Structure 1
Amino acid sequence: MVMEDSNFRVIIVGGSVAGLVFAHCLNRAGIEHLILEKGNEVAPDLGASIGIMPNGARILEQLGLHEKIEQCIEPMSISHIIFPDGLALESRYLQNIYERFGYSVAFLARAEFLRIAYELYPEKAKIITGKKVTEVNRCQGGICAVTDDGSVYQGSIIVGADGVHSRIRSEMWRIANKDSLGSILDEEKKSMTVEYACVFGISSGIKGLGDGEQINAFLDGAAVMMMQGKGDRVFWFIFKKLDQKYVYPDTPRFSMDDAEKLCREMKDVRLYRELCVDDLWRTKQTASMTALEEGLFKTWFYDRMVLLGDSVHKVSQSSLPGHRSCLPKPTTTATR
C-alpha cells in the first residue's frame, strides 16, 4: 500500500545493509527518504561476508532482492562440527532448515549484497555518498543532519544505520543529556563490551571442502568457522578470546599485522581432515581483523532520532547472527 503524499521525510544515515534494506522498505511504502553515506562508494570491498537465513531471505524476496542474490550464493547443506577433544560430528540441520522454511542458509560477500541492493534500488539519486554526518540539531518542523562539508539535510526523523560506532547514537545521547536524561544514559553507555576478536576473510582454491559445506571448529580459547560459497570461494572467521573484558569505547583496535600474527600462531591448527588455519591465510583474497562488540542498548529512539542495526544491538558473531538479525528491524520500523 502506497501512502499519500505528505511532508514526512526520513533521513537515513549509513548506506549499510540495514540502511539500504530500510530504504527499499520505505520506497515500497511510498515514504519520502534520503540516504547519507560517509564513504565514497556504496559497496566497498572490505573483505567481509554476510549470512542469509530464512527469516532474512523472506524479507529480501518481498523487496525483490532475493532472486538476484540467489545467483551469487551456494546453499549450505552439510555442517561439520569439531570439538577440542577431537570429537567430530556431521549434521544435516542446514538441509532441514531448507526443507522446513523453503529458504537455504547461504553466504556471499558483503560488497556483493550491497551492490545488488544498490543496483535494484529505483531512486539512486536519493543515495548521496561522501556525506559524513557530524552533528544533529533540532530545527523548525523537524530535525537536521549536518555533514562535514557544511551541508544541512532536514527531515522529519533521522535513522541511524551507521554501525557500531554510530554518530547518530552519540548525537542522540548528547541531545538527551541536554534534556536532563544524563544519569540514565551514563549507565547505558557502558552496556557494550568486547571479549573476543575476529580475523575474517575470503579465500579461494582451498581443497577438501565441497559445495555447500560448513566447518565449525571449536578450540581452546578460539573457534574457526568457514563456509564454501559460490565460485570456489571460502568465507572464514577465526574467533579469539581476549585477555580481558573491555568496555566500549575503550576497546582494542587491530591492524593487518595483528591478523597475520594470530594466523601465524595458529597456522598448524588442524580444522578438518588435512585442512589447517595456514590454508586459509595462505590462499586469502582479502582479510581483516576487528574487535567483536556485544551489547544491547535500552534506548532505541529519542525525540526524532531512531537507531537501526549495529548502532543499537550487537550480538556475538560466533554464531553469525549479525546481518541476519539486522534484516527484520528495518521492515518492522518501516511498517510502524
Structure 2
Amino acid sequence: MGFKVIIVGGSVSGLSLANMLEKFNIEYVLLEAHPTIAPQLGASMGLLPGGLRILDQLGCYDRVREIVGDCCYYQPSLRLFNGKILNKKKPKTFSEQLEDRTGYPQIFIDRQMLLQILFDNLQSKDRVMTRKRVVRVETAENHVCVHTQDGCTYTGDIVVGADGVHSAVRKEMWRNGVESDPGSFRPDEDKALSADSNCIFGISKRPKSLPTSALQINSFFDGRNYMMLSAPGDRLYWFMFQDMDRTTGSETPRFTTEDEVNLARKHFDDQVTACTTFGDVYENRLQTALVSLEEHVFARWYFRRIITIGDAAHKVHPNTAQGGNGAIETSAVLLNTLLRRLDDTSKLSGQDIEDVFAEVQTKRFARAANALEQGRHTSSISTRDTFASRLFVHYLLPWFGDRIIMWLAVKHAETGPVLERLPIPNRHGVTLKHAGTVERPRSSKRIGFDELLCDII
C-alpha cells in the first residue's frame, strides 16, 4: 500500500492539492460536504501572479485566461472621501504592466469557475465525493480514520482539513489534542477568530451607466468603502466593506437576507462613480451575501496525522486578495515537503509526518501573518475618514499607488513558492523568480507601504 491522503473540503486549497497529488501519483480521496463541487454562492476571488504561476504548473492557467479574457485589464476609477471622482486613463493598465514584469496579470474570477476548472483538470474525478460531511476524525499510531455523516469511514496516512474557516477537521484536531496531549493547543483557540468589519459581496449585471470596457472602481466613504471590477459575461464583481465593532468567537454575528437588504438600501444613494450609485449596482444583482469578515492565523495548524490548510489555518481579509492565493501556496508547500520525505519511503512514521507538518507551518506562517496584518491595515485606512486615510486615499493612492503596488506585487511573487518538481512556466518572455522557503518581504515593512498592495489588488 502506498501513501494515502484524505482531503476534507472541495475548496480552492482542497482541489488544488488534489491536482498536485495526482501529478505525482499519490493516492488521495477528497470528501466534500455539499451536494455539488462548485456551487454558485456569489463569491469572486482575486488571483495574483504567485498563485497563477502554480495554477499554470498544474495546467489550469490557460482555461482561467480563456474565461476571463480582457476583463483583467482594468482602468481605474477613484471616488475620494471628499466626493471628488478621479478617472485617470492610462496607456497601460496595472495588469498589463504586471504581466510585463511577472508574466501574469491580476485576475478576478468567480470562485465557482475556479473550482470547476480545478475539478475538470483532474484525471480521476471518482476520487472526489460529494455529500460527505465529516463528523469525526480519529488518529492512531500508523493511520488516521475519517468518519462521515452517512456512516462511511475512510482510512489514510494523513488527513488535510481544507474545509474552510469553520473547519470540522480543525475542531476534531483540537479534540484529539485535548484528549491525548493537553496543552498542545491554546485553551481559547476556538475563540480566536475575530471580525471588525462586514461585507456585502456580490455579482451583478453591469448597470447601463457603466462602460462596457474593463473598469475597477474604488469608492471611499466614512465607515465603508466599495470595490467593483468588471467580470466576464458583461457582469460586475463588487464588495461593500463596512466597519463594525470588533467581535470574537461565537459573538460574531451571522446575517439574514433581510439584514443584507436593509443594509444595502441604507446606502443606495452612495455615488460610486459620477453616474452610478450603489443602488444601481445592487438592483442589478445576480447573487449576493452579507457576512462578517472573520480573520485569524491559528497558532498551530497540525496535530499528529492531521493538518489544516487554507482558511482552516489562515483566514485573512478579502481586501488582500491573498486568501485563495495563500491557500494555493500552502498546498504547494505541503506537496513539496511530502515529496522530499516520500523519496526515501512510502510509509512515513507518525514523527516523520509531524516533522513534515511542522516544516509546512514554519515556511508559511510569517507570510500568512503578514497577509493578516495587511488586511487589517487596509480595512482601517479605507473605511475611516481620518487624516491618515485622506492622506493615503487623496494623495498616495492616485499619484504614487501604482508604482509602489507594482514593486510590492513583484516582490510578493518573487518570494512565493512553486511546485518544485514541475517546470517553471515562461509567460510573456518572463520566467519569474521564486523561493522555496518563503519569508515576510523585509523591505516592504521597512518603508511602511505593505498595506498599499491590498487596496488595488
Band the TM-score falls in, shorter-chain normalisation: over 0.9
Is 1:57–2:52 an aligned residue pair? Answer: yes
Separation (CA, whole Å) in 1 of partners of 2:183 and 2:42:
38
The structure with more helix, counted as a fraction of residues: 2
Separation (CA, whole Å) in 2 of partners of 1:104 and 1:211:
17
Whether the 8 Å CA contact 1:211–1:229 is kept in 2: the answer is: no
Separation (CA, whole Å) in 1 of partners of 2:213 and 2:46:
16
Question: Residue in 1 aligned with 2:228?
Answer: 226
Structural mapping, 1:105-144, within 5 Å:
105-139=106-140, 141-144=142-145
Query: Match for 2:45: what amino acid?
Result: I
Change over 3 Å in CA distance of 1:76–1:322 after alignment to 2? farther
Instruction: Structure 1: state its 5+ residue gaps.
Output: 1-5
Q: How big is the shift at 1:190? A: 3.1
Change over 3 Å in CA distance of 1:312–1:122 after alignment to 2? same
Question: Residue in 1 aligned with 2:41?
Answer: 46
Question: Residue in 1 aligned with 2:153?
Answer: 152
Question: Residue in 1 aligned with 2:167?
Answer: 166
Separation (CA, whole Å) in 2 of partners of 1:309 and 1:51:
15
Instruction: Structure 2: state its 5+ residue gaps.
Output: 338-457
Whether the 8 Å CA contact 2:78–2:218 is kept in 1: the answer is: yes
Whether the 8 Å CA contact 1:199–1:259 is kept in 2: the answer is: yes
Q: How big is the shift at 1:260? A: 0.8
Structural mapping, 1:1-40, within 5 Å:
6-40=1-35
Q: How big is the shift at 1:205? A: 3.0
Q: How big is the shift at 1:50? A: 1.7
Question: Residue in 1 aligned with 2:78?
Answer: 81
Q: How big is the shift at 1:188? A: 3.0
Separation (CA, whole Å) in 1 of partners of 2:35 and 2:191:
32
Whether the 8 Å CA contact 1:209–1:228 is kept in 2: the answer is: no
Whether the 8 Å CA contact 1:78–1:95 is kept in 2: the answer is: no
Change over 3 Å in CA distance of 1:94–1:219 after alignment to 2? farther
Q: How big is the shift at 1:333? A: 0.8
Whether the 8 Å CA contact 1:294–1:315 is kept in 2: the answer is: yes
Q: How big is the shift at 1:58? A: 0.6
Query: Match for 2:139: what amino acid?
Result: R
Is 1:239–2:234 an aligned residue pair? Answer: no
Whether the 8 Å CA contact 2:74–2:229 is kept in 1: the answer is: no
Identity of aligned residues (%): 33
Alpha-carbon deviations, 1:200-230, whole Å to 9, x = none? 1111132324433111112111111110012
Structural mapping, 1:255-274, within 5 Å:
255-274=256-275
- Residue 150 of structure 1 aligns to a residue whose secondary structure is coil
The structure with more strand, counted as a fraction of residues: 1
- Residue 241 of structure 1 aligns to a residue whose secondary structure is strand
Question: Residue in 1 aligned with 2:62?
Answer: 67
Alpha-carbon deviations, 1:61-96, whole Å to 9, x = none? 110011111111122332223221234454743332
Structural mapping, 1:180-191, within 5 Å:
180-182=181-183, 184-191=185-192
Change over 3 Å in CA distance of 1:52–1:209 after alignment to 2? farther
Query: Match for 2:237: what amino acid?
Result: F
Structural mapping, 1:300-319, within 5 Å:
300-319=301-320
Q: How big is the shift at 1:140? A: 5.8
RMSD: 1.6
Whether the 8 Å CA contact 1:144–1:155 is kept in 2: the answer is: yes
Whether the 8 Å CA contact 2:9–2:33 is kept in 1: the answer is: yes
Alpha-carbon deviations, 1:305-336, whole Å to 9, x = none? 01110001111122332222222111111111
Change over 3 Å in CA distance of 1:184–1:39 after alignment to 2? closer
Separation (CA, whole Å) in 1 of partners of 2:100 and 2:74:
11
How many residues are aligned here?
330
Question: Residue in 2 aligned with 1:298?
Answer: 299
TM score, norm. by length of structure 1: 0.94
Change over 3 Å in CA distance of 1:184–1:168 after alignment to 2? closer
- Residue 210 of structure 2 aligns to a residue whose secondary structure is coil
Separation (CA, whole Å) in 2 of partners of 1:179 and 1:83:
55
- Residue 64 of structure 2 aligns to a residue whose secondary structure is helix
Query: Match for 2:289: what amino acid?
Result: S
Q: How big is the shift at 1:184? A: 4.0
Change over 3 Å in CA distance of 1:218–1:278 after alignment to 2? same
- Residue 174 of structure 1 aligns to a residue whose secondary structure is helix
- Residue 214 of structure 1 aligns to a residue whose secondary structure is strand
Query: Match for 2:311: what amino acid?
Result: D
Separation (CA, whole Å) in 2 of partners of 1:249 and 1:158:
26
Is 1:103–2:108 an aligned residue pair? Answer: no
Query: Match for 1:205: what amino acid?
Result: R
Whether the 8 Å CA contact 1:76–1:214 is kept in 2: the answer is: no
